[in-house]
Amino acid sequence: MFSKSLARILCVILLALINIALLCISAKHPDRYTIVDRVVMAGIAPFQEGVTRTMHFCGRIWDHYFYLVAVREECDRLRGMLARAEMEKSRHLESELTCQRLRKLLAMKSEVPRRMLPAQVVGLDPSVWFRTIIINRGTHDGVSKGMPVIAPEGIVGQVMAASYCHSKVLLMTDRSSAIDALVQRTRTRGIVAGKAEDSCRLKYVVRKGEISVGDTVVSSGLDGLFPKGLRIGSVKKISRSQSGIFQDVTVRPFVDFGRLEEALVILE
């Protein structure tokens, strides 16, 4: 038995053959328009219309396909251009920020009358015992243990070890660090020592010493290491206990050690 789909296909083929036959008959008498011509026209016109619409539909799909391919290629090209432009923008921005930091270093060299060496931070010490950074200057550049390290914002720390090309700098926030300091406004003296969480303590400040939150703390120069007047940080918190002769003062460093990229080593 024939299936319905096969019967439909045979019917379409039969109609097409009939239309072709009628078209051939009408072609023998092109100057006459008989009833046969009308039958041919009525039979073949819908078929031709369907074929024409199908061809137009396929043509539109074909054109749209190539159009979409061209659009996709154009989008890929524009994405590539945008990525290159973003990289170029980032490179120029990084160069501008580097120039700004270097200008601050040059200004710092003019303010401090000492021979200084610029250095770049190239690493962090993974040790859990010390808070240190690694700079790209060593004994080959004249750097030795104990030399102070500063930044435009203030004191960074001091060199604790030096190799031929690199040095390890002990940050002022390390617990083993100590800097003789004074409160700039009142000249109250103390010792700045490292404390946890990127902060310091101003130790040995007597209870009668005048000090307020927000005061600037600078180096006193009496430790023989850091020149006098270098910025250290600002007073963040003051605690005065009922007993004892000293105040408990917390100092926030001016230097953001997490973002430090360049520094200056004081060679003298």
Beta bridge partners of 217: 183, 233
Query: In terms of domains, do 148 and 260 share one?
Result: yes
Q: For residue 69, is it within any domain?
A: yes
* 264 and 169 fall within a common domain: yes
Residue 15 lies in a domain: yes
Q: Is 93 contained in some domain?
A: no
The values of phi and psi at residue 199, to 5°, are -135, 170
Question: For the segment 1-48, what is each residue's pLDDT rounded down to a tens digit?
Answer: 456 566 666 666 766 666 666 656 555 555 555 555 555 555 556 666
Identify the CATH number of the domain in which residue 135 sits.
2.40.10.340
Q: Are strands 199-206 and 189-195 parallel, antiparallel or unpaired?
A: antiparallel
CA–CA distance, 162 with 146 (Å, rounded to integer): 10
3-state SS assignment for residue 3: coil
Residues 6+ apart with CB under 8 A from 201: 192, 193, 194, 195, 248, 249, 250, 251
Q: Are residues 50 and 160 both part of a single domain?
A: no
Average pLDDT over residues 35-63: 62
Q: Extract long-range pairs of 28-31: CB within 8 Å, 24+ residues apart.
A: none
Whether 90 is covered by a domain: the verdict is: no
| Residue span of the structural domain in which 55 resides | 1-20+31-84
Domain shared by 178 and 59, yes or no? no
pLDDT in tens, 112-149: 667 888 898 998 876 666 789 999 999 999 999 999 99
Give the gyration radius of the chain's Cα atoms: 43
Per DSSP, the residues of 108-170 read: HHHHS-S-EEEEEEEEE---SS--EEEES--GGGT--TT-EEEETTEEEEEEEEE-SS-EEEE
Claim to verify: residue 68 and residue 129 sit in the same structural domain: no
For 264, the enclosing helix (H) or strand (E) is strand 262-266
Does one domain contain both 268 and 194? yes
